[in-house]
A and B are shown apart, each in its own frame.
Chain A
Amino acid sequence: MLRSRNPIRRLVLRTLGVCGVAPFSLAIGQAQSTLRFGTTPVFLNDHVETTARWRRYLVDATGTNVQFVQRGSYGEILELLMRNDLDAAWVCGYPYVISKARLELLATPIYHGKPLYQSYVIVPADDEATRSIADLRNSIYAFSDPLSNSGYLVPKSELLRLGTTPEAFFRKAFFTFSHRKVVDAVRLGVARGGSVDGYVWDTLAKQQPESTKGVRVAWRSREFGFPPVVVRKTLDGQLTATLHRAFVNMARTHAGQDVLTRLNLDGFGDAPDSIFDGIAAMVRQVDGVKT
């Protein structure tokens, strides 16, 4: 009897052990009182201290337990949102635009006084010739994430405007799944150029200048809607309102201001959905080419 029961117990224990190794997975689908907030590399989400303080702020401001969830790509976060496994997330404008039907705009970061940002093309500093992505034909190129506006959609749209595609234009293009790693790829000579989130670049250059050393910005795009904080539409209205208050009031509290300083942002505000029209137009352009 015992012998036959033991393997089952061991299996259960092992399963628990696996869950312990991956606490985020275990957390999903747990008690309703926890608000799950997904982050993506639209900001420097690998700064653990910043996210920890931010979480504390949100817990205090909402009176709800908040859990930060991080994944390897925008796609995974988006998928969790779609499956209702996340309640809110800070995502890029691109996934927001394509999933608008199920997402609700909660707050938009205010950067340099505006809810807008740019996409940069960066190249090694010793490359003085490159003025735009058009000069990088046959190069090795680094994109950040296939669902990133600044790190993929913008350059792809630019190439489409030139009548070409990344596959045809570049000798080789690859995704690093993080803006920061695009900077690394260019800095370390893996890629001759890359597309990054202008806000992430500026923040890196400000907070960790050594990581942008030897790399320069060759081109800046026009302005687009800043990656927004969104909630799934199915989230409880009361909770959405509380969370909204917590975000827009960040700049008014000491703890919130501390986090904003670390995030290199002015604050979070309400911006019209129209700021994402530029991205939506590019999505249509890209989809048009595909079909």
Chain B
Amino acid sequence: MTLFRDLSYRYRIPLAITAVIVATECMVTMTLLSQGLADARRDLQAGAENLVAVLSRSLREPLLRDDVWQAFEVIRTPIETRDENNALESITVTDNGERVLISTDTKTFPMLASIDSLPESARKFLKSASAAKGFSFTGAKWMGAENVVASGDVLSDDGSSLGRVVIQYDGEKISQRIRTTLIHLFAVTLPGLVVLILLGWFWGKRMVAPLSRLAADMQRIGKVPPMEIAKEVTPAGKDEIGVLSASFKDMLHGLDEKERLEQEMVTAERLAAVGRVSTGIAHEINNPLGGMLNAVDTLATHGNPDAFTKKTLGLLERGLNQIRTTVGALLVEARLDSPAMTQADWQDLETLITPQVHERAGALVWDVTIGQPIPLPSHLVRQLVLNLLLNAVKAVRDGGHIWFEARIEGATLEMAVANDGDPIPPERMGHLFEPYTVTQHGSEKKSYPIGLWVCYQVVKTLGGTIHVVSADGLTRFQVSIPLSGGKS
């Protein structure tokens, strides 16, 4: 039982179908067989009864006249005209249980021999058959036959018995015929059965195949990314397995979404931490930096430095200013006094990026469908878009394409920057928005400055989202920013 329970449906259903086919076939065969045997027996008995009736009638005259030759002529005809398959063996006319009058088997039943003087086997059946009254039929069994004996009276006109006609059938021949019928029946049904079993097996396997695939796919969860499994799950039909497949696919999508969210959360937390650290450091640096710049300025203005000192102070001042610029880049602040984003800003952006694209002999597709000013700080949006566009220009090969689109959807500014350059390598994806990352791509080391990190900071500051999709030869940054600009 356990064995059957553990058996795969791949075998269990074909086995079940086979079992049903075999059982049905057996039942049909048994029914046909028993019907056929019953028919054969009935036919045999009906034939015997008919023959007895015909012979009885034909023998009346010869027996009345004691014309044994005529009687013999009557009984020899069925024997001589039978075909080789006919089980009819002999016809004997007895003298009411006492003597053999005439027989077609003159060796076993010599004419006028007393029945009691016959050999045992011949005497036994002839005695009982010739002593019976009316039509008698014995010897036919269900599956075969012993010597089948039919007998009937030869009656005169007044109904008195003139003798008895006893017909003997060869039981072995009847059994042989039944055996032949059996063999034929099996010969006919067996190929059909084999074909049915093969069909059943094939059909069963086909039925189970989606289930097996589903089971195999389920076992891959945790080993293979969910979306990769989902690609192979193709729900077909609305049957149970189809519904199961569809649900499984949904589950895989959910799983993928969850994994992605988790990943995003981790990234966001990391970026937030990086943001906090960099902002803190920037402020810590900015405070003494301001003092140092003041000090340098004071010294240069009021200290009457000599030429060498002046040169050194200049050097110092430029260095400190560079530090301030660098640190300033790390600080993304929403200056709420910044003017709103107008159509002119969009045009500026296009004007700024076009020469860069041309330098690469590329093509720019500019699609901005925003007419009115939007209430978002223009310097942040400009910084964001320009960074993304520069990033795209850097990514495309010569003659590549860059797409930019911006539109208002409800209360959201939707922007997308895309390019058909090299895709972002997967190992970089996880750290895409981190500043100053260095990744090992093949043999070469690549470092990325803070451009995308700034973008991320801007988007976060404005309360929006940024996603990147790199697939099918297209890298696309999708930015959504609520028009409220994160103020709420």
Contacts and interface: CB of A to CB of B under 8 A. Distances in A.
Interface string A183-196: 00100111100000
Contacts, number: 33
B477 interface: no
B72 A190 contact: yes
Contacts of B112: 140, 171-172
Contact of B76 (A171, A188, A191): A188
A189 B72 CA distance: 11
Nearest to A177: B69
A108 to B, nearest CB: 30
B107 A174 contact: no
A140 B111 contact: yes
A174 B106 contact: no
Nearest to B107: A189
Contact of B106 (A171, A172, A189): A189
A174 B71 CA distance: 11
A176 B69 contact: yes
A80 B67 CA distance: 24
A91 interface: no
A77 interface: no
Contacts of B282: none
Interface string B126-154: 00000000000000000000000000000
Interface in A136-194: 140, 142, 171-172, 174-177, 181, 185, 188-191
Contacts of A191: 111
A174 B69 contact: yes
Interface size class of B (residues with CB under 8 A): 10 to 19
B106 A188 contact: yes
Contacts of B76: 188
A111 to B, nearest CB: 27
B68 interface: yes
B325 to A, nearest CB: 136
B82 to A, nearest CB: 15
A189 B76 CA distance: 12
A142 B112 CA distance: 14
B413 interface: no
Contacts of B44: none
B92 to A, nearest CB: 12
A172 B69 CA distance: 11
Given A140-B112, A188-B76, A172 B68 contact: yes
Contacts of A190: 68-69, 72, 102, 106, 111
Contacts of B67: 174-175
Nearest to A178: B69
Nearest to A176: B69
A182 to B, nearest CB: 9
Contacts of A140: 110-112
Given A172-B112, A190-B72, 19 more contacts: A140-B111, A171-B112, A172-B68, A172-B111, A174-B67, A174-B68, A175-B67, A176-B69, A185-B69, A188-B72, A188-B76, A188-B104, A188-B106, A189-B106, A189-B107, A190-B68, A190-B69, A190-B106, A191-B111
Interface of B: 67-69, 72-73, 76, 102, 104, 106-107, 110-112
20 contacts: A140-B111, A140-B112, A171-B112, A172-B68, A172-B111, A174-B68, A174-B69, A175-B67, A177-B69, A181-B69, A185-B69, A188-B76, A188-B104, A188-B106, A189-B106, A189-B110, A190-B68, A190-B69, A190-B106, A191-B111
